[in-house]
Amino acid sequence: MGIYLPIAEISVNVFVLLAMGAAVGFLSGMFGVGGGFLITPLLIFYNIPPAIAVATGANQVIASSFSGALSHMKRGSLDFKLGGVLLTGGIVGSTGGIFVFAFLRRLGQLDLFISLSYVALLGTVGTIMLIESVSVLRATRSGAAPVLKKSGQHNWIHRLPLKMRFRASKLFVSIIPVLGLGASIGFLSSVTGVGGGFIMVPALIYLLKVPTNVVIGTSLFQIIFTSAFTTLVHATTNQTVDVMLAFLLMAGGVAGAQYGAKAGQKLRGEQLRALLALLVLAVAIRLAIDLFVTPPNLYSLSGAGLN
Amino acid sequence: MKGLGTLTIAIFLSLLAAVVPTGAQTPSVESIQIGLSTDNVSITAGFSGADLTIFGSLENPDPLVARQGRYDVIVVLEGPPKPVVVRRKDRVLGVWVNLDSETFENVPVSYSVATTRPLQDITDPNSYRQLSLGSSNLYMQPADAGDSPATIEEFTAALRERKTATGLYSENVGGVQFLSQNLFRATVRLAPNVPVGTHKARAFLFKSGLFIKESSAQLEIRKSGFEQSIFRAAHDYSFLYGVFAVSLAMITGWLGRLVFRKD
């Protein structure tokens, strides 16, 4: 069944979009990530203009992170104060990202920039995760007890000034790295459409030493607002949010997420991470191939204005 | 909402004028008329391209010429003019990057042609150029006239090629058929990505290869109710639209949890 997307201005198949949303929802439920880093490349492979894929991807991320954050709020595994500081940085980064986005779009380099950032981002994160999870898998197989990271050990980050106490996270830390982390993820979110959970979670654990149980909830909490802000700004400055497209993806996504979460409970943590790493790398490789293979059309047309 | 295979646009025929000879002695000068009974076409949710039928009539045709089939009609449906940037990808360190570009002003977004016979059989290339008729004779005005003619020519050719490949520029040979001596029917293709806006339908009459007369009418193509409302909202009330998009996502996320929750 075809449906005409009012903003993307093309006809697409409803079931393809629902299935895409469900598949990504399944994976995001399984791995506990928002899924924005999968949705945007998938939309681009499906010929949705990258500018619209990015803005609509951000819109879709709100739905999955909102429902996730609600469960964490109920369990009390959400640090509002930490989330608030991250968010302040996030808004600044996101605003900057929007200007870069509009500027690159005028130059005609937006598509290239989006692909390059995805390849760099997913390639790095995927490789690190794969190495980490494979070494854990190997260690458990050989019977050795996994070496735990010593918590409480202080690194350079803890010597920075402007310290603040975060009670729910049992943390006393400078707000500079927190703001910086929030800002970089906000920037990424507005330029690439990702929520940034897959970067935020490891950064909070390894850099700021936030207890693992509050990390996911807090990260989801801040992603809701960063994505919401990104969606709003894209809607007002670029008019690239397609609600019809976003809604179809969300509808498939919320259903898929539940089955994914169930499937995820049957797998062990490091197996899950290895699988997610492979998936992330596969997306990165697919995008990288497109950059190097001779395109079927060397010429492309676009409107001279923003549209 | 109506189904979409064929959009038929009937006409006001000035048949009376053609059938009833008015002044017995007036020298017969042929002319052509097209008229649209509706001045707008809506694109609905299921739109995947359509054929648009336009009816028209010849006035004062010479019966002998008509019988010998020496009247030819070319109908053009031209989309609104817009500036276009053509970009060329080149390899930089192995990666394909948009490097050179050329901006053209007032390029018709779409250009569908229907003809009685192949274009080269109707009249000579010179006449087409004078009438700037046919996608290959459209003059594409570069915004920066200082660029070298070779570059401009290369990008103009690329622009036409991309427009044709995406179906926005199309040619339907045999798409104009005479139903009687006076009456003809033209079928022009609307691509699935046909742009919204004011389109201009023009009909050109040729007699034995000579251009005689032209007639035109306007047609508004727009998105139908729901799609149009979304599009307008996104552009006219973009902030409220953004708020709506965010709320929709939150409600969907909340409902999803309510329906499927397991904790």
What are the residues facing A13 on neighbouring strands?
A2
Domain count within chain B: 2
The percent of residues in chain A predicted with pLDDT above 70, rounded, is 91
Residues in chain B with CB shorter than 8 Å from the CB of A231 are: 242, 245-246, 249
User: The domain that contains B32 carries what CATH number?
Assistant: 2.60.40.2550
Q: Is residue B93, in this structure, part of any structural domain at all? A: no
CB contact under 8 A, A297 and B165: yes
> Does B233 have pLDDT greater than 60?
yes
Specify the pLDDT at position A305.
43
- Residue in chain B closest to A9 (alpha carbons) equals B193
Q: Is A14 on the interface with B (CB under 8 A)?
A: no
> Does B18 have pLDDT greater than 70?
no
- On whether both B60 and B35 belong to a single domain, the answer is yes
CB contact under 8 A, B242 and A255: no
Instruction: Calculate mean pLDDT across residues B6-17.
Output: 42
- Which band of pLDDT confidence, cut at 50, 70 and 90, is reported for residue A156? low
Instruction: Calculate mean pLDDT across residues A23-47.
Output: 80
- Which band of pLDDT confidence, cut at 50, 70 and 90, is reported for residue B262? low
Q: Return the number of other C-beta atoms located less than 10 Å from residue A77's C-beta.
A: 17
- Which band of pLDDT confidence, cut at 50, 70 and 90, is reported for residue B37? low
Specify the pLDDT at position A307.
37
What are the residues facing B187 on neighbouring strands?
B53
Q: Is A117 on the interface with B (CB under 8 A)?
A: no
> Does B9 have pLDDT greater than 60?
no
- On whether both B142 and B195 belong to a single domain, the answer is yes
Distance CA B84, CA B141 (A): 10
> pLDDT of B53-103, one tens digit each?
888 888 888 888 878 878 888 999 888 888 888 888 888 887 788 888 888
ipTM: 0.78
- On whether both B262 and B138 belong to a single domain, the answer is no
Q: Return the number of other C-beta atoms located less than 10 Å from residue A294's C-beta.
A: 8
- Residue in chain A closest to B160 (alpha carbons) equals A301
- Which band of pLDDT confidence, cut at 50, 70 and 90, is reported for residue B159? confident
CB contact under 8 A, B260 and A297: no
Distance CA A36, CA A216 (A): 16
Instruction: Calculate mean pLDDT across residues A222-229.
Output: 85
Specify the pLDDT at position B94.
78
Q: Is residue B206, in this structure, part of any structural domain at all? A: yes
Specify the pLDDT at position A303.
65
Distance CA B51, CA B190 (A): 6
Chain mean pLDDT for chain A: 80
> Does A301 have pLDDT greater than 60?
yes
Specify the pLDDT at position A145.
52
Specify the pLDDT at position A151.
47
Kindly report the nearest CA distance between residue B262 and chain A, in angstroms: 8
Which A residues in the span 156-185 are in contact with B, Cβ-Cβ below 8 Å?
none
Among the partner residues A109, A244, A250, nearest to B98 by beta-carbon distance: A109
Query: What distance lies between CA B90 and its chain's CA centroid?
Result: 32
Distance CA B134, CA B197 (A): 21
CB contact under 8 A, A64 and B165: no
Q: Is A255 on the interface with B (CB under 8 A)?
A: yes
DSSP string, A195-254: --HHHHHHIIIIIS---HHHHHHHHHHHHHHHHHHHHHHHHHHT----HHHHHHHHHHHH
Among the partner residues A1, A3, A304, nearest to B83 by beta-carbon distance: A304
- On whether both B154 and B259 belong to a single domain, the answer is no
Contact indicator for A60, A39 with CB cutoff of 8 Å: yes
- Residue in chain B closest to A305 (alpha carbons) equals B83
> pLDDT of A245-297, one tens digit each?
999 998 888 888 777 777 777 777 777 778 878 888 888 888 888 888 877 77
- Residue in chain B closest to A261 (alpha carbons) equals B262
CB contact under 8 A, A243 and B253: no
> Does A33 have pLDDT greater than 80?
no
Cα end-to-end distance, chain B, whole Å:
44
CB contact under 8 A, A2 and B48: yes
- Residue in chain B closest to A292 (alpha carbons) equals B95
Among the partner residues A59, A239, A305, nearest to B234 by beta-carbon distance: A239
Strand order in the sheet with B111-115: B40-43, B210-223, B197-207, B71-78, B111-115, B169-173
- On whether both B129 and B239 belong to a single domain, the answer is no
- On whether both B75 and B168 belong to a single domain, the answer is yes
Tokens 């700004």, located at residue? A233
Specify the pLDDT at position A154.
56
Q: Return the number of other C-beta atoms located less than 10 Å from residue B231's C-beta.
A: 20
- Count each helix (H run) and each strand (E run) in chain B, helices first: 7, 14
- On whether both B136 and B261 belong to a single domain, the answer is no
Distance CA B253, CA A68 (A): 8
CB contact under 8 A, B230 and A7: yes
- On whether both B116 and B199 belong to a single domain, the answer is yes
> pLDDT of A97-135, one tens digit each?
888 888 887 887 877 888 888 888 888 888 888 888 888
The percent of residues in chain B predicted with pLDDT above 90, rounded, is 2
Kindly report the nearest CA distance between residue B140 and chain A, in angstroms: 14
Lowest mean pLDDT among A61-75, A138-152, A213-227, B9-23: B9-23
Q: Is residue B183, in this structure, part of any structural domain at all? A: yes
The percent of residues in chain A predicted with pLDDT above 90, rounded, is 0
E strand or H helix at B202: strand B197-207
How far is the CA of A19 from the CAs of A9, A79, A256, B230, B256, in angstroms? Answer: 21, 34, 9, 24, 16
- On whether both B16 and B58 belong to a single domain, the answer is yes
- Residue in chain B closest to A254 (alpha carbons) equals B256
> Does B149 have pLDDT greater than 70?
yes
- Which band of pLDDT confidence, cut at 50, 70 and 90, is reported for residue A14? confident
Distance CA A156, CA B204 (A): 78
CB contact under 8 A, B88 and A255: no
Distance CA A122, CA A130 (A): 12
Kindly report the nearest CA distance between residue B54 and chain A, in angstroms: 25
Chain mean pLDDT for chain B: 78
- On whether both B190 and B157 belong to a single domain, the answer is yes
What is the Cβ-side half-sphere exposure of residue B96, based on CA atoms within 13 angstroms?
A: 18
> pLDDT of B91-125, one tens digit each?
888 778 888 888 888 888 888 888 888 888 888 88
The percent of residues in chain B predicted with pLDDT above 70, rounded, is 86
Specify the pLDDT at position B45.
66
Q: Is residue B90, in this structure, part of any structural domain at all? A: no
Q: Which of B260, B261, B262, B263 is most worth mutating to test chain A (most A CB atoms within 10 A of its CB)? A: B260
- On whether both B171 and B236 belong to a single domain, the answer is no
- On whether both B148 and B67 belong to a single domain, the answer is yes
> pLDDT of A191-212, one tens digit each?
877 777 777 877 787 777 777 7
Task: Name the residue range of residue B229's domain.
Answer: 224-263
Residues in chain B with CB shorter than 8 Å from the CB of A302 are: 84-85, 87
- Which band of pLDDT confidence, cut at 50, 70 and 90, is reported for residue B32? confident
Specify the pLDDT at position B261.
65
Reported in sequence order, the residue ranges of B20-165 that DSSP labels E, i.e. its strands, are: 31-34, 40-43, 50-59, 71-78, 81-92, 95-108, 111-115, 141-142
Q: Among A141-145, B18-22, B191-195, which range has the highest average pLDDT?
A: B191-195
Residues in chain B with CB shorter than 8 Å from the CB of A300 are: 86-87, 89, 98, 162
